[in-house]
Amino acid sequence: MSIIQVDWSPTKMNNKKKVLALKYRPQTFGDLIGQDVVVDAILNSIKVEKSPNAYLFTGIRGIGKTTIARIVAKAHNCKNGIENICNEKMCEHCEGITNSNHIDVLEMDAASKTGVDDVRDLIEFSRYGPTSAKYKIFIVDEVHQMSKAAFNALLKTLEEPPSYLKFIFATTEIKKLPITVVSRCQRFDLSRIKSNELFNYIKKICEKENGKVSDDSLKLIVKISEGSVRDALSLLDRAIVSLDDGTELDLINAQKIFGYFDKSNLIKLFNYIFLGDEKKVIEIYRSMYDQGIEPKIFLNDFLEVLYYFKNISNLKIDGTNFNLNDIEFKTIKELADSVNNELILLFWQFTIKTLEEIEIVSDQHIAIEMFLIRLMHLKGISNLNRLDNNIETSENNFEKILENKNDSERKIENDLANIKNETIGQIKNIVQEKNQNENETINNNKNDKLEIKTFEDLIKFCSTKKEIKLKYELETNVNLVSFENRRIEISFNERLDKDFIKDLSSKLHEWTKDRWIISLSKENGMLSKKQKEIFLKDQLIEKIKNEEIYKKVLENFPDAELVDIETDLEKS
């Protein structure tokens, strides 16, 4: 008579039915990936019996916060000790913690237990020592969802708990926790799992599950999961159950399953945008749309490719970044060499703007098509260097602009010509200007007396002496009538400071050791420096408005208006 022994263990029966994220949930520190620094710190603190009263784990979703919390609880209570934590054959404490039914390890979801009454019950329960284990441990998940009153009720117990009590908190929103709570915990920031580590991890699991998934498909899963282990395993689970017996999941089918489109099509789209081929651009976009791509996802991926075009020279394919394959990387690098950076940055601004616009459009699909057409029109406009050249030409021929002025404006013309020459003469590099200022200071100290021969000398010396208020008044609110032999005659507007004349006289005497006469005149005087600059810029704007480049902009963008010009003089 033979006896057949059958293991009816519920854990073993249900293990095959579990989703991968639960089936392969780490049970010991050795099973964890990507968190070596955190693991070492926790293990060392437990070994030397200096573990904190409260742990705080923070990081993105699916990174292992609650899993590590359970492993820490096992490390404190396992009968085999910290060096030999149970893995397969578990002691009663490890088995209870794994199944979430240990009497001394209480797991609480703060999303549903948010009130002060729940915390009071917790504190009341903490007054009694552990029943069977060494430590009583409270694991609180999504702790940031607790109310303010609940946090306040917990503070005192959290700071000075009984020796047998440990708190373990987990949160995805560390900024929502009161600083008083964070300061009472030992904080551990869990990092995203690196692409190559996550790829190797899910590939091993795929082999254990006998799933036939190509490496390219696994890399796509890694990219979509954004460093989250749980997300990666959930996607792998979906990929495996989508397979027919004996078939392998390739990249094309994986993109259909996960609603993700091939980035090579997007790079091809860019190529036709740069070529200005409207028919091809719309055709490629519509094929992507037919695959199920959402307009907002399309724009975000469009921004990602723009980033690669701008920074491709600083990037490399090193096995840790699965956003681009070798062919895509090479194609972008070739295209980027023929596109200027100003155009890429302009595309970036238009894409950001379109992300805002599609929220108020009923048919987002046609909004994206119009967005692509607008980009091609932008590409058709001459580059920005031509506008800079036009501005420079306008400055060089500025005297010609003023040729048709009548005699009453001749004085203004001369002032403008002078201010132009003076401005150009002031273009020096920082080192030269510093040396000049130092030489002036040395000469002034030697002679102990300064010569100020012109109004412009006076403005420059105010700047050198850091008399910014005087300099501002001279440039903005003063109209010079005459300047000669320590006598200044001026007119002014109503904004001139009431103490200006007194302050200027005092400073002039201090600098030159001579008495100066400053008188007010009824004549209008010359334009102030500020007025001259405004007049010069207005003339340049009018000149540019007559240029072909401006007319072409208005043809494409009728609402555009030229409001300001930045010249090379201003940049310097």
The span from the CA of 565 to the CA of 544, in Å, is: 9
List, in sequence order, the alpha helices (H) in 10-59.
10-15, 20-23, 36-47
- The tally of CA atoms less than 13 A away on the side-chain side of residue 91 is 16
> What does the pLDDT look like over 157-189, one tens digit per residue?
888 888 899 999 999 999 999 999 999 999 999
**Spatial distance between the Cα atoms of 416 and 529, rounded to a whole number of angstroms:** 9
User: Do residues 173 and 166 make contact, with C-beta atoms less than 8 angstroms apart?
Assistant: no
Whether the CB-CB separation of 163 and 199 falls below 8 Å is answered with no
CA geometry: angle 545, 550, 555, nearest 5 deg: 125
Distance CA 147, CA 308 (A): 44
CB contact at 8 A, 397 and 544: no
Nearest to 535 by CA among 424, 427, 409: 409
pLDDT of residue 201: 92
Ordered structural domains, the chain, with CATH: 10-189 (3.40.50.300), 195-258 (1.10.8.60), 263-380 (1.20.272.10), 407-530 (no CATH)
pLDDT tens-place string over residues 90-142: 888 888 888 888 888 988 888 787 788 888 888 888 888 888 889 999 999 99
Beta strands 478-484 and 487-492 are antiparallel
Q: How confident is the model at residue 316 (pLDDT cuts 50, 70, 90)?
A: low
% of the chain surpassing 90 pLDDT: 13
The pTM of the full predicted model, rounded to 2 decimals, is 0.57
Rounded to whole angstroms, the Cα distance separating 515 from 572 reads 37
H-state helical runs in 448-546:
455-464, 468-476, 500-512, 529-545
pLDDT, tens digit, 9 for 90 and up, residues 502-527:
888 888 888 888 888 888 877 777 87
Using CA atoms, how far residue 15 sits from 10, 24, 245, in Å, is 8, 10, 22
Q: 194: pLDDT confidence band, cut at 50, 70 and 90?
A: confident
pLDDT in tens, 36-57: 899 999 999 998 888 898 999 9
Q: Which of 156, 185, 173 is nearest to 69 (CA)?
A: 185
